[in-house]
Amino acid sequence: MIDPKEFFHQGTLTICSTLDEDKMLDDCFRFLKNYIPLNGLMIGVYHTDSGSVEVISYTSEINLSFKAQELKLSKSDIEYVESTIGSVLLLQKLEDNPVGIRMKKAFNLPELSSVVLRLKVEDQRIGAIIAFAEGNKKFTWDHGKILSILHDPFAIAISNILRFKELSRLKDLLKDENIYLHEELRKIQGNIVIGQNSGLKEVMEMVSQVAPLESKVLILGETGVGKELIASSIHYNSKRRNKPFIRVNCGAIPESLIDSELFGHEKGSFTGALTAKKGKFERADNGTIFLDEIGELPLHVQTRLLRVLQTGEYERVGGTQTLKADVRIIAATNRNLEDLVHKGLFREDLWYRLNVFPIFIPPLRQRKNDIPVLTDYFIKKKLKELNLRLNPSVSEKGFSRLVHYSWPGNVRELENAVERELIKAQAKKSEILNFNEYENNKNSPEKSKDLNNESSDELYLSIEEVLKSHIEKVLEATKGKIQGENGAAKILDIHPSTLRHKMTKLKIEFGRKSK
């Protein structure tokens, strides 16, 4: 005989000690096994809105080939679940119950007998605790009475667990909404692309061509040229503009975590995975994901990404449920993916999948006309950010120094240079910006010899030198025209962005040549 009060007290402490349903069920299994001859426990939750039963957790010492999932109920099943039948059901075999029949078939369960404790909170059915044992006729009504003592603590605990799960879901949703609202604010403030009417004119023309479509885009260019800005321009001019724009720096995530960051993970899938987590693809659903530094992805992650591109499907780490990814992919890199393919560091089939519409962003040194307007823009931006009470102007020599510097860090380096100069001006109480650190172009990294001056003996030219010479001759014939009819790309039978990429690599200057 058991002491009902002591049993209730100990049982309540066991049930209410955690909000983790898996841990709670394991603890309850060990506790109840002292009183009931069970082989396992299961939590089934009833969803009134969808008319379905979901197994949210189970623990068993029987080797079950069980895959938890949501079971859609028929109209008669729903009527049975919502009926006023007592709180405890004794099933000598699963076939004694219409829902049990459906669960056995859907979940591939063996021959089991069970005690079902139907749970209610404030007259509303929330689900059931199911104690089961292998074989038939393993339980008696005495076992049912013992389990029924714990109805209230089980009902309250599972109600709290469900509310906690809903709170976690809403927290994730709030995080996504916060990202969305920040993007909306960014749109209101303006998605500024400095140079869109000059040095980046051809780039912005390509953006306008591809943005309304669903095509994948590969953005190429050196570090700091503004690849993320171009990616956001594509997103905000697309049909997905009101959905998430999720950024991922593939080179900044540790290799051990990148699978989880991109695709999410299930609780317990690895050490430290205390809860399930959505990945970037899941958060970008119906929107755009921007994969910056795509060339840094490990090969095993490239394989998973290729599957997403081919089928639109993936699984969380440690999960078995197949998820769908309705996501537009924009990738970017400052590396030569073709070279990485030849070296075996990047999958060739993935490169072909990504390289649908390449856009090359020329470095700042190849669009000198943008430097003055970029400088003015950054001065206004930094004055506001730093809360400086200055009315600065750039001297003529200052502009000359900026224009003649080669800017290896591109637009990002120019922005830092402006901020640094403003800080110095504030300290000196001067409003004239001279950028003296760039006097005589001392910091320019362009000290390597131009290929044209390396050798005058054409018998010993390298392949790159021959290629450069040929491209320059074609450009001379087209008067610098790259794109369109009678352009160099058309003559060379190469995509304009690919040609620009090769020109950058070979240090061939952009722009139309004067006659």
pTM for the predicted model, two decimal places:
0.55
Residue 184 included in any domain: no
Contact 150, 29 (CB under 8 A): no
Q: Which amino acid, residue 295? A: G
Domain co-membership, 385 together with 254: no
Domain co-membership, 94 together with 154: yes
Domain co-membership, 429 together with 464: no
Listed in sequence order, the residues at least 6 apart from 180 whose beta carbon sits closer than 8 Å to its beta carbon are: 243, 244
Domain co-membership, 56 together with 155: yes
Query: In this predicted structure, what is the pLDDT of residue 308?
Result: 92
Contact 103, 115 (CB under 8 A): no
What does the CA dihedral 105, 110, 111, 115 come to, rounded to 10 degrees? -80
Residue 255 included in any domain: yes
Query: In this predicted structure, what is the pLDDT of residue 178?
Result: 63
User: pLDDT tens digits, the chain, 515 residues: what are they?
Assistant: 688 899 999 999 999 888 888 889 999 999 999 999 998 898 888 887 777 888 888 888 887 766 556 677 777 777 777 775 678 888 888 777 777 777 777 777 888 888 889 888 887 888 889 899 888 888 899 998 999 999 999 999 988 888 888 887 777 777 666 665 555 555 444 456 666 666 788 888 999 999 999 999 999 999 988 899 899 999 989 999 888 899 999 988 888 889 999 999 888 777 767 778 889 999 998 999 999 999 999 999 999 999 999 998 999 988 888 888 899 999 999 999 988 999 899 999 999 999 999 999 999 998 888 898 899 889 988 998 888 888 888 998 988 899 989 999 999 999 999 999 999 998 888 889 999 988 866 555 444 333 333 333 443 456 677 778 788 888 887 888 888 877 888 877 788 878 888 888 788 876 544 34
The domain boundary residue, chosen from 125, 148, 164? 164
Contact 401, 438 (CB under 8 A): yes
Residue 378 included in any domain: yes
CATH for 211? 3.40.50.300
Query: In this predicted structure, what is the pLDDT of residue 304?
Result: 92
Listed in sequence order, the residues at least 6 apart from 300 whose beta carbon sits closer than 8 Å to its beta carbon are: 259
Nearest to 374, CA basis, from 142, 189, 197, 203:
197
The domain boundary residue, chosen from 333, 360, 387? 360
Contact 499, 482 (CB under 8 A): yes
Domain co-membership, 232 together with 134: no
Residue 511 included in any domain: no
Residue 185 included in any domain: no
416-448: burial string, b at 16+ Cβ within 10 Å, e else:
ebbbebbeebbeeeeeebbbeebeeeeeeeeee
Domain co-membership, 342 together with 434: no
Residue 404 included in any domain: yes
Residue 515 included in any domain: no
Domain co-membership, 59 together with 142: yes
Domain co-membership, 77 together with 154: yes
The domain boundary residue, chosen from 146, 164, 182? 164
Distance in angstroms (rounded) separating the CA atoms of residues 466 and 453: 13
- Which CB contacts under 8 angstroms, 24+ apart, belong to 477-480? 479/512, 479/513, 479/515, 480/510, 480/511, 480/512, 480/513
Domain co-membership, 156 together with 26: yes
Query: In this predicted structure, what is the pLDDT of residue 175?
Result: 67
Domain co-membership, 140 together with 272: no
Domain co-membership, 9 together with 158: yes
Domain co-membership, 409 together with 272: no
Work out how many domains the chain is built from and give that number.
4
Query: In this predicted structure, what is the pLDDT of residue 428?
Result: 85
Query: In this predicted structure, what is the pLDDT of residue 488?
Result: 83
Residue 106 included in any domain: yes
Range of the domain at 134: 4-164
